[in-house]
Structure 1
Amino acid sequence: MPVKEQIAVTGLGMVTPAGSCVDATWRRVCEGGSTAAASHPALAGLPVDFCASVGEFDSSVVGRRNLYRLDRFVQLVLVAAHEAVADAGLFAADWDSPRVGVVIGCGMGGVATWEKQHGRLLGHGPEGVSPLLIPMMTPNSAAGEIALALGARGPGMVVCTACASGATAIATARDLLASGQCDIVIAGGTEAVNTPLTVTAFANLGTLSQRCEDPTAASRPFDAERDGFVMAEGAAVLVLERAEHARARGHRPRALLAGCGSASEAHHPTAPHPEGLGASQALRAALRDADLAAGDIDHVNAHGTSTVLNDQVEARVISQALSHGPLVTSTKGVLGHLLGAAGTVEAALTVLAIQQGTVPPTANLQDTAPGIDLNLVTKTASRQPVRAALSNSFGFGGHNVVLAFCAA
């Protein structure tokens, strides 16, 4: 089967700090209001004591027993997967389960469970440690539990490329469809690490904003006063199918996944290459894979972390590769940084931008930093047709993934 066969996005599901479903998240992102909240109880007394957290969500699809058996990162992606499958008009009882795959991106796994159980080991000895610790904390449990809940018996895996993990999952899912191994792939990303140890580690690394006195203004991508990102949690899932498979069952896609580009910088464990070599290579590879010219791109959902180095380098890459000035936004201004889930959440928002003809604003962007020459959407959402768009995801270790979407 030719690799260029069209891949359709037929379903979306999201659980984010902006809302417990796709519609709620999209509405809040378009409004441009930050979701960061002060004085998170678990972070009390730490140098950075705020983050962006998921509020109440429909735990009925998880199951009461599973709320105790599963780490939060798995709970969140289960909810997103159920929404995405329903949005795609699919029913697990009807599909050919060996032809349904699950690929999830996750950067860290069950850190909250790990921290809690380590405390029990120190406080109560070996007998205090739960026998469920290992299946609760291992990242692969996200894909395993989705497969179990939905009866998906095709290839299943969790991929980790740090903050590009969610985008890598989508690219991997595309390959499973293009190779003919699957007819449907549930592709997503999830992360839930708003925990004392993780937040402290990122703070000590110097990547987090220190604006404890004003958390809602902390995440400010591309702004002259940016000082780091805001930790966040959440999950998103895209249902991907070959377009012919979606047409055969009478389902209209939300958008098409036109191309994927990946590259490793081989430069530094945490810092981007100063010239953005890997990011540029991934972006240009995505354009080639999608058979798109630079001028075809109307919108870029930037990685835009609100860190000094990332924003400067990414802006250079975008302005050099896409000199015609497409609309650029970073939704991390609203949502914070969802780490391993960020790439999937932002891919879903890119699909919605195409479908709705609306590009959300970059929250908290008051004064664009010197040297950043981008057509940034600020203050309010911009309504205009979006024929094709890119979603950028970059991770520690030099992992760079760019996804290209176009209108169905």
Structure 2
Amino acid sequence: MKVSKFGGSSVASAEQLVKVGAIINDDSKRKFIVVSAPGKRFKGDEKITDLLIQLGESYISNQPFDNVLDKILTRFSGIINELNISNSVLDDINQTIQSILSKQITDERKMDALKSVGEDSSAKILSQYLKSLNLNASYLNPKDAGIIVSNEPGRAQILPQSFEKLYALRERNEILVIPGFFGYTEDEQLVTFSRGGSDITGSIVAAGVKADLYENFTDVDSVYSVNPQIVQDPIEITSLTYREMRELSYAGFSVFHDEALIPAFKENIPVCIKNTNNPTSLGTMIVASKKHDKKCVVGIASAAGFCSLYVSKYLMNREVGFGRKLLQILEDEDISFEHAPSGIDDMSVIIRESQLTAEKENSILKRVKEELNADMVTFHRNLAMIMIVGEGIMSTIGIAQKATTAITEADVNIEMINQGSSEVSIMFGIRAEGINRAIQSLYTAFFE
């Protein structure tokens, strides 16, 4: 039994949904289907989720929103008409949006509800299309599926009792089409996962029904060893472990949401990444473990948009609780941290720049200076992180030396290194402007 998840590019248009229908029809083991919201059809196009966010922001700020609503409904109308299914689906979508806008709920919950419309509508459209192909298919709302989540709008976490409810779905005979990205709290409030959370839903469903395989259909034949926008025609990765994929996802690989594999990983369910446009391709298998080889490194990932909070204080290492107090200040400002390399007199905390407003930056600088009596407190912006990833990386001699040499040869200065915190990766912090040069040099060193 398979759980198959189709991403935004796979459901972006009627043409793509016809391919999805053929893939589902081709294999009777594909019993559970999870879908994203329609993504971009072409470069410069708009994702439905982005349009729904625009709609919500306009409504909440009392700005005109009819134009955005028309765009959303026109997009869905085009898909529905081309698939030749009933216009009652479009009426349902419109009524859902109008109901959300008129509901007396907080702005935060209104935004969550609006963002969920993309996935919900995809599921309704696909289930109707599958029925038109004479397949026994049904739309299944996450509430009815049993996807119960924590009450954290925009960043929900799955609750343990969900899995027993999901397992009961095995008894149903039809193909079940489930919208990704959102669930319901114990008191039946709609809450979304973080952006890209349809991958999380797919993994949760696979874990819940104890699937034999979780397929994640996207628009690439496999996972590449490096971003193909930086290196031309990079080699494909045929097999990865969960830990390797998690590190690659966190560090900028866009194939998977970085939290997506956790439920599948816990249930030891293999995952296969496949291409909707080329479904016969083998894809990339993600498994619990594999044999180490001498090459060790399977991928190089990168992500920009980081900054570093640098704190210096003489004899910091002797001050009990200094790190805790520093991180508490960040917690008070609702900021999470990524890495925290330190020395005897100084400490750096790496955070994502998107979390840091000017007000928060000033507040943090002031509090660290006053409350911790720091000698120096500064923020360094425009940082990028590069991850060298592979099982056995810690026990393979010469990996760090080869990486540092490659980065140096690219005329890029290494701002920080973090190797001890992971058994499958080495992290390098550099200035963002050098990221392409560094990646190209590293690829040459490890793969050519």
TM-score bracket, shorter-length normalisation: under 0.3
TM-score computed with the length of structure 1 as normaliser: 0.25
TM-score computed with the length of structure 2 as normaliser: 0.24
Tell me which of the two structures has the higher relative contact order, counting C-alpha pairs closer than 8 angstroms and 6 or more residues apart.
Answer: 1
Which of the pair has more CA radius of gyration? 2
